[in-house]
A and B are shown apart, each in its own frame.
Chain A
Amino acid sequence: MKINRNSVTYAAVFTFIVCIAFVVVLAIANQVTLARVQANKRLESQTAVLKAFGLADASTPPSEIDAKYKQLITEKNVNGTTAYVATINGQTYVGVELTMPGLWGPITAVLATDKAGTVIQGFAIVDQQETPGLGGRITEPWFTAQFKGKKTLPDGTIAFAQGTGKGNFDPNNGTVDAITGASRTSDFVKALVNKELALARQIGGTL
């Protein structure tokens, strides 16, 4: 039988078959890698929580993260949100993870503070889709390290300001350097950090 390649039926059937074929292969590829992708995600989240508490850094091997996390971190459900609690040197610290809007997509980050929520223990980005090289620099160590040991301002917030570009490491001024060329991302991260601080205070009060 000769097939008329110009007929509408042929075009419709051909497109249909090609779509099915390629989509099935993609679905299989997705299924096959699903467990791995989820394991990667869990590892990312655990690493971020440990980093925020100052219990892990870039040099911690990924193979130790899971054991360390299980040993040191307690997950607590407070009013519907998951809070992370860790006791370091006899002091109780609270960690919260929040997802808020960024410039291109949601930004997820973990912030750990003391129980009163006035001194930040650490800050770590779990996931973000900001512009690589600009807003994407919020994941760079110099940026997140600024929050370590930082006292909040009297109103309980952290301010973002134009700085030298090298980071603001004075623990008492309540201010961190924003990112050059990424004012919008800096604004979004500021909102995220301050919301997390408020939440940490709230949760810390219940412990």
Chain B
Amino acid sequence: MSSATNKVIKDGLWYNNPIFVQVLGICSTLAVTNNLLNTLIMVLGVSFATSMGSLTLSALRELIPRKVRMIVQVLVLSFYVIIIDIVLRAYAPTISKQLGPYVGLIITNCILMGRAEAFAASNPPGLAFIDGLFNGLGYGWVLLAIAVIREFLGFGSLFGIKIMGNGFTPWTIMVMAPSAFFLVAIALWIANDYKAKAAKRATGAPSAAGAAGAAPAKPAATGGNA
């Protein structure tokens, strides 16, 4: 594996994690994480759309005029999102019904546009694909971790399978959006604290905030964290 690929993978999963560092895709983090199955499908959908979208946009990058690049990005990304929607409706109607409006809302996930603009627009297709995929997965593992906590405490189950007995009183707050705010904030805190300490240990000096500094996708997209 080349060092560039290696770096892209590590960035997506940890050093430039979409949730911890770029703080993108927060809306869907709040919306779908009270149910593990929905979260898993959402994660697969986002990973598919970012990776394929980045691949396509990167392949077209020499041809796309700068003036209309965002229109083309939205078009290509929404193309993949609609494909996901069509496939789910035809082959997994139950899941399609459960996710309801959230599949269509993958397009408003800032990770898609963020990676297209920050990475795919200036990198070769293969690398852009890996970048998209691992940003999707980096977003995914954080979401799944949050979903495990929320579904377990909110319903007493995991993947819909009852874990806790009848004596268990579900924490209703865990099913509702506010709990996701608390959990995401706590996760951000732990991750960044850990990162800061690791950087300190590595260099013995506080100058190594570099890990967190490598967040190119932040400026345009954070405003619209849909």
Contacts and interface: CB of A to CB of B under 8 A. Distances in A.
A170 B73 CA distance: 56
Contacts of A202: none
B89 A11 contact: no
B23 interface: no
A11, A44, A104: which has the most chain B beta carbons within 10 Å? Answer: A11
B172 to A, nearest CB: 6
B67, B89, B170: which has the most chain A beta carbons within 10 Å? Answer: B67
B90 A133 contact: no
Assign chain B's interface to a size class: 35 or more
A34 B58 CA distance: 31
Given A14-B64, A15-B68, A132-B32, A22 B79 contact: yes
A36 B91 contact: yes
A134 B64 contact: no
Nearest to A7: B65
A33 B89 contact: yes
A37 B35 contact: no
Interface stretch (B5-13, B97-105, B111-119, B126-134): B97-105
A15 B66 CA distance: 11
A18 B75 contact: yes
A127 B32 CA distance: 19
Interface residues of A, number: 33
Interface in B26-51: 31-32, 34-35, 38
B68 A11 contact: yes
Nearest to A36: B90
A207 interface: no
A26 B64 CA distance: 21
Contact of B90 (A37, A128, A180): A37
Contacts of A134: 175-176
B63 A136 contact: no
A2 interface: no
B82 A6 contact: no
B72 interface: yes
B220 interface: no
A40 B89 contact: yes
A124 B35 CA distance: 22
Interface in B131-182: 154, 170, 172, 175-176
A131 B99 CA distance: 9
A1 interface: no
A133 B101 contact: no
Nearest to B100: A129
Interface of B: 31-32, 34-35, 38, 60, 63-68, 71-72, 75-76, 79, 82-83, 86-87, 89-91, 93, 97-102, 154, 170, 172, 175-176
Interface of A: 5-6, 10-11, 14-15, 18-19, 22, 25-26, 29-30, 33, 36-37, 40, 44, 104-105, 127-134, 136, 139, 165, 180-181
Given A33-B86, A44-B93, A129-B100, 14 more contacts: A15-B68, A26-B79, A37-B90, A104-B101, A105-B100, A127-B97, A128-B97, A130-B100, A131-B31, A132-B98, A132-B99, A132-B100, A136-B100, A180-B172
Name the 6 nearest CB pairs between A and B, nearest first: A33-B90, A133-B34, A11-B65, A40-B93, A36-B90, A22-B79
